[in-house]
Chains A and B, each alone.
Chain A
Amino acid sequence: MGVELTSNLDSGNKTGNNKTESKKILEMRGITKIFPGVIANDGVDLEVNVGEIHGLLGENGAGKTTLMSILYGLYRPDGGEIIFDREKVEFHSPGDAIRAGIGMVHQHFMLVSKMTALNNILLGYRTPKDPLMDYEWARKRIEKLSKTYGIEVDFDEQIINMSVGEQQRVEILKALFRDVKLLILDEPTSVLTPIETERLFKALRRMSEEGLTVIFITHKLREALEVTDRITVLRRGKNVGTLITKDTNERDLARLMVGREVEMIIEKKRKESKEGKAVLRIEAVHARNDRGLPALKGINLIVKQGEILGLAGVSGNGQKELEEVIVGTRKIEKGRLIFNGEDITDYGVARRVALGISCIPEDRIETGMAPSLTVEENLILRDYVKFTKNGFMDFEVIEKHAEKLIDEFGIRTPSPKVAARTLSGGNIQRLIIARELSRNPLLLVASQPTRGLDVAGIEYVRKRLISFAEEGKAVLLISEDLEEIMQLSDRIVVIYEGEIRGVFEREEADLEKIGILMSGGALEN
């Protein structure tokens, strides 16, 4: 199928970007990269035209980052060749790639947090007055770039005080400052709010107009369709097709990406009645964050039986602290927590687990599991006391329990005895969901439950959340993904700087209103 689609393209003269038709800036041929046990890239061909925004789409683990890391000189390929700007190249380090005119903004930023944006941009760069730093010259140059592409940054602010979106803009300017011809962005939108995403897309379009070429990595179909000229889809390390964006659609892309039909929209049926017993009542809760600053400033919330309550908000506005307050790992300064009629404010974590409070934590790997322990051990991580006989672990029951859950929740693992660290992100998420749902809880706090998951993984997690709520249980869904909140929630609340800024029934909620509240704005009536 891939061949067919690609050849379609070659013969066609309706390339996405008219002015630079068929002038290639990059050709990767037969790129192969093998990691122990996985073929991350399997003979991948990729052609990118000058001045286009080229989407690189694929599920998690499809090999997108690996392919681009090879181009950027981070990995050496096991096979294949790269032609950049009409020359065959072989990069031994990112330094080589940068000199040749390639810039890359990674999924995880690589900035020095205690330095200003300006210094970060200049890091390792030789200004004309080298060895002296010519700040005047640099500042002018950056300001010009900033204006040209509409990328605004406070140059004298330290990175540590910046939002993730702003940090990303620093990274982009850092690359542009080095006169790149090709800019690679690895899943840039995964950390952005909807508004920031829009701004980024505008900047990308400006770059394209100025003749810059952009490779935009994503696993979100809608974004790929919105901003790119052409899209290359990777599946399991192979190029399964390069398509012209305006000639394709979500459904086809999803099918290419996953290799089967996918349900694109999963919506929760509305709850029959608006009434319902309150499972969790959060009353005027105050709490501080790790740095000792107020993070929750008098939160009031009720989560009812049979409903999914969506908590919308940009990361860092108190969601993580709220999650921890409910789980019991963070102290409450003021306020009360009532669970099922019982005041649990002073209860420890284990007691809350036993009462039926489950949680898919935002930090799955940092908090949700013990990576060096086995899959079966991780499946009893929070209930291990239940799996003992007179203080001794009951290994037989533990193994049976693991086999049952692996089967029921479709966790892909070679055996229950391998280290959980070796599972893919989607399977780690399944493991955690399996563990948290297996104790048959009354409340599930699901924090960013689909972040970083691929289309199939998202489909799975959302279905699970819905069926759980439809059993009459309660879900508090904490998510930055507004679309997810809109599709799944019965009611929606918005959190901003540790305060609840708005409560909506789903039918009265709209993206725009919520977006405004999420970024601290007020609604006019």
Chain B
Amino acid sequence: MQIRIEKRLETPKIVYIIIPVASILASLLFVGVLLLAIGVNPLEAYGVMLSRAFGTKFGFTELFVKTAPIILTGLAVSIPLRAGLWNIGAEGQLYMGAFAASFVALYFSPPVIVLPLMVLFGLLAGMAWASIPGFLKAKFDLNEIISTLLLNYVAIYWVEYLVYGPMRGKEVYNFPYSDLFNDYAILPRFFGTRFHVGVIISFLIAIAIYILITKTSYGFAVKIVGSNPKAAEFAGISRKKIIISTMLIGGAIAGFAGMMEVSGLHLRLRAAVSPGYGYTGIPVALLARGNPLFVMVAAFLFGLLYVGGSAMQTTFGIPVAIVDVFQALVVLFIIGGDFFTRYSISFGDKGEKYEGEKG
């Protein structure tokens, strides 16, 4: 028997479905092995995860609450990705959005304008933060992976500094928290749960972005830049404008996610605004291949993991970090799976027909 690897000219559509599904299954399998190694039955653990998310009203609404920011960060990664840029900085953009929104919530008045201003400042702060790597990339071709990543740390430590120092609340003892927001700075909630209006807005944003990037001439220009920057130039599309604008849109959405988390969930600024949603956006965007509709689907999967992750922690004492492990595995498998979009593998002896035989 002989294994043959050959370059493909055209990739069958089915491959694009098989790769993400197989990546998820393989990651679940690997995590299962890890669970076994620490003495937990993986089936039981996954069972607990599912029953937590789907078994109770609280769990089910939590699923949406956790999915919403992941949709947003998934979009924040996807939009620049369509132009060929890696926005690893959604986490930092989210933190800056959270910071700016909190600043408005704590220090601005009159009450009626606070919530709209929080949204506006959240968007602007995320944009501003993303504009730095965008500008550096457009102007000096500075690698955006590095600049976005490093700016995350700046943003996270900035917020930490604030909640340990100037913005620390008067009644929070030694916790790194600001004071609670006033009611008028809090997003409305439903069903007596934490399900807040931001969740619905997140889905609407995803649909709006879907329309923007698949139906408009702007989306078409982004696609050309992502496919072949030289052809884009030849078509009279300014690559620099596309680089900066996709980063700005991505940053704005991540900034909104930050606003939503403080205003809908934490009700104050605190350290650890996000458990790493910005990074979760990366596998989400990869699984979805940058398509906002699929971003919603992939975000659900990770929302489930976050909800289930905390359930596994309370039931089995498994550290929530297992979610990070899963996330990293998905990224690895997807990137590895990319091989199959470019090469086909067939089995069979020399001289056999092309279709070959398995085994």
Binding site for B on A (CB under 8 A): 34-37, 76-79, 327-329, 348-353, 359, 361, 363, 366-373, 377, 381-382, 384-385, 388, 391-393, 418-419, 421-422
| Cα distance A94–B196 in the bound complex, in angstroms | 65
Contact: A372 with B227, CB < 8 Å? yes
Say how far A149's CB is from chain B's closest CB, in angstroms.
Answer: 35
What A residues does B219 contact at CB under 8 A?
Answer: 393
Q: Per-residue CB proximity of B205-247 to A under 8 Å, as 1/0?
A: 0000000000111111101100110111111110000000000
Say how far B80's CB is from chain A's closest CB, in angstroms.
Answer: 17
Contact: A349 with B217, CB < 8 Å? no
Contact: A349 with B233, CB < 8 Å? yes
What B residues does A352 contact at CB under 8 A?
Answer: 236
Residue pairs across A and B with Cβ atoms less than 8 A apart, 14 shown, are A36-B354, A76-B350, A77-B350, A79-B351, A348-B236, A349-B236, A366-B228, A366-B230, A369-B231, A373-B223, A381-B231, A384-B220, A385-B217, A419-B10
B171 touches A (CB below 8 Å): no
B346, closest chain A residue (CB): A36
Chain B interface, >50% SS class: mixed
Contact: B10 with A329, CB < 8 Å? no
Which one, A348, A370, A393, contacts B224 given CB within 8 A? A370
B266 touches A (CB below 8 Å): no
What B residues does A327 contact at CB under 8 A?
Answer: 234
Contact: A381 with B235, CB < 8 Å? yes
A329-B233 contact in complex given A78-B354, A391-B216, A422-B9, C-beta closer than 8 Å? yes
Which one, A34, A351, A381, A385, contacts B354 given CB within 8 A? A34
| Cα distance A403–B6 in the bound complex, in angstroms | 32
Say how far A91's CB is from chain B's closest CB, in angstroms.
Answer: 12
Residue of B233, B235, B237, B351 most packed against chain A (CB within 10 A): B235
What B residues does A392 contact at CB under 8 A?
Answer: 215-217
What B residues does A34 contact at CB under 8 A?
Answer: 354
What B residues does A377 contact at CB under 8 A?
Answer: 220, 223
A76-B231 contact in complex given A381-B224, A391-B216, C-beta closer than 8 Å? no
Say how far A390's CB is from chain B's closest CB, in angstroms.
Answer: 9
Say how far B37's CB is from chain A's closest CB, in angstroms.
Answer: 41
Contact: A393 with B231, CB < 8 Å? no
B352, closest chain A residue (CB): A78
Say how far A118's CB is from chain B's closest CB, in angstroms.
Answer: 33
What A residues does B217 contact at CB under 8 A?
Answer: 384-385, 388, 391-393
B234, closest chain A residue (CB): A367
B189 touches A (CB below 8 Å): no
| Cα distance A359–B236 in the bound complex, in angstroms | 13
Residue of A361, A363, A392, A418 most packed against chain B (CB within 10 A): A392
A90, closest chain B residue (CB): B350
B231, closest chain A residue (CB): A370
A419, closest chain B residue (CB): B10
Q: Per-residue CB proximity of B323-359 to A under 8 Å, as 1/0?
A: 0000000000000000000001000001111100000
| Cα distance A328–B353 in the bound complex, in angstroms | 51
B57 touches A (CB below 8 Å): no
Contact: A418 with B354, CB < 8 Å? no
Contact: B10 with A418, CB < 8 Å? yes
| Cα distance A77–B218 in the bound complex, in angstroms | 47
| Cα distance A64–B90 in the bound complex, in angstroms | 50
What B residues does A37 contact at CB under 8 A?
Answer: 9-10
Which one, A359, A363, A393, A421, contacts B216 given CB within 8 A? A393
Given contacts A36-B10, A384-B221, A422-B10, 15 further A-B contacts (CB under 8 A): A34-B354, A36-B6, A76-B2, A78-B352, A349-B235, A350-B236, A353-B236, A361-B234, A368-B231, A369-B228, A381-B231, A381-B235, A384-B220, A392-B217, A393-B215
Say how far B7's CB is from chain A's closest CB, in angstroms.
Answer: 9
| Cα distance A361–B221 in the bound complex, in angstroms | 20
What B residues does A366 contact at CB under 8 A?
Answer: 228, 230-231
Say how far B294's CB is from chain A's closest CB, in angstroms.
Answer: 17
What B residues does A329 contact at CB under 8 A?
Answer: 233-234
Say how far A158's CB is from chain B's closest CB, in angstroms.
Answer: 26
Say how far A386's CB is from chain B's closest CB, in angstroms.
Answer: 10
Closest 8 CB pairs of A and B: A350-B236, A349-B236, A370-B227, A34-B354, A370-B228, A382-B235, A388-B217, A372-B227
